[in-house]
Amino acid sequence: MKRFVIFTFICACLTGPLMAQQEILPSKNQRYVTTGISFQLWKHHEYDHPVQQVTFPVQLMIPMNDHLNVTLTHMAAFSWWDELHKISGLSDTWVNGTYVFLEDQAMLNVGIGAPTGKTRLSQYEYELAWQWLTPNVFRYRLPVYGQGLCAKVGGALAIPIAQDFILGLGAQFVSRSPYVPVEYKYEYMDGSTPVTKVMAKTFNPGDEYSLHAGLDVRPHENVKFSIDVILTQYERDELSGREVFGSGSKTAVDMGFFYRFNDDLNYIWANMVFRQKGKNEFLQGAYIENEQLNKNGAQIDLDLRVKAFNFEDAVLFFLGEGRFYNKNEAGIGGAGLFGLGAGGQVSIYDNMLLDFTAKFLTGQIHDETSKRIDGLDAILTLVYSW
């Protein structure tokens, strides 16, 4: 068990927070495929139509041997707002290889993002993506359809300080290639002849570097605390070969608490993520300059998962969450959202699991004024292992 805890911990250093690691993750030597369907909806009370997205995610994990796992992740999605603002298509396809060594205490991760996703968005598709799909507060499962060819490499090391005290260190580099995100078409009259022109500029997103550090503490057999700190630095973005934007560096702190009760069957998992970015850089005339006021406000996401009831071949969960986003230094933005929901898992056969959750959310987002917004988030997932 100790080796498995170390393995899952160093995976978390590079792939994000894990929920109740020993309870959720399959064995690292077990093949599995997951597929399903999700539906998300946000209704802004100042607009007639809600923004909706349906996704069809697929993930395949194949252990090549005791040390090497290969994972393939892909998604198809349909997003729509009104008759004009619609996007349908595929995401990029990520293939990741994870190699674990030094008695499961070190890991090397290499990934390739194949450019299978939709790019060259129309003006209306781009407006939908920019205004609704990409803001963190909405958590759409596919905020960006395509980003061109990408690659990443990272490593992590877990250092057991004591029997139930693990220190993790890691680093990751992500490289992105140029692509055309949006394609504008416009018409004008050349005398009596209508002419259609297309404007499609090449965008080269900056590479990113991140450092990871974390602690995993288990003071009691049924209690675990974890904290992870991630520092990320971005290179400047280029448009048609010219530097136009530099994203502020980001600090993210992820804290988790796990408590198992009721004869080791049920548990509580609470997770908090804090994010803060520094000032961005913009092209001002002939030079790139820092913005005077930080346009990035602090963000806090809270998630709660309670495994409450156990049946012969099924379990029931209760879910809760909060999203609290501060206004930036210019007094713009910010949000306060709350959500409640439930979910369950049903074992269909010994090697097949059906997982489903549904959450209702409500709250306010803030621009010049506060505006009511309601949301629905539901997902049905089928996991097959062999």
User: Tokens standing for 37?
Assistant: 């369907």
176: confidence class by pLDDT, cuts 50, 70, 90:
very high
349: confidence class by pLDDT, cuts 50, 70, 90:
confident
Domains of the chain: 2-385 (2.40.160)
Average pLDDT of span 330-359: 94
The pLDDT assigned to 19 comes to 35
- Range from 9-13, 153-157, 158-162, 369-373 carrying the lowest mean pLDDT: 9-13
The pLDDT assigned to 287 comes to 79
Does 193 or 237 have the greater pLDDT score?
A: 237
User: Over the chain, what is the mean pLDDT?
Assistant: 90
How far apart (Å, rounded) are the C-alpha atoms in residues 85 and 134?
15
Residue 371, pLDDT > 70, answer yes
Cα-to-chain-centroid distance, residue 93: 15
Angle at 311 between CA 306 and CA 316, to 5 degrees: 25
pLDDT in tens, 22-71: 343 345 568 999 999 999 999 998 889 999 999 999 999 999 999 999 99
The pLDDT assigned to 256 comes to 96
How far apart (Å, rounded) are the C-alpha atoms in residues 267 and 20?
8
Angle at 174 between CA 145 and CA 285, to 5 degrees: 80
Q: Is 27 exposed, middle or buried (0-12, 13-18, 19+ CB in 10 A)?
A: exposed
Q: Is 343 exposed, middle or buried (0-12, 13-18, 19+ CB in 10 A)?
A: buried
124: confidence class by pLDDT, cuts 50, 70, 90:
very high
- Range from 12-16, 57-61, 302-306 carrying the lowest mean pLDDT: 12-16
Coil, helix or strand at residue 15? helix
CB 186 within 8 A of CB 149: no
Helix (H) or strand (E) holding 225: strand 223-234
The pLDDT assigned to 210 comes to 97
376: confidence class by pLDDT, cuts 50, 70, 90:
very high
Render 190-211 in DSSP notation, one character per residue.
ETTEEEEEEE---EEPPPEEEE
Residue 294, pLDDT > 90, answer yes
How far apart (Å, rounded) are the C-alpha atoms in residues 172 and 16?
12
Residue 278, pLDDT > 60, answer yes
How distant, in Å, are the alpha carbons of 87, 89, 139, 183, 185 from that of 121?
A: 8, 11, 21, 6, 11
How far apart (Å, rounded) are the C-alpha atoms in residues 72 and 192?
54
Tell me the chain's radius of gyration from C-alpha atoms: 22
Residue 12, pLDDT > 60, answer no
The pLDDT assigned to 21 comes to 37
Closest among 322, 354, 317 to 338, alpha carbons compared: 322
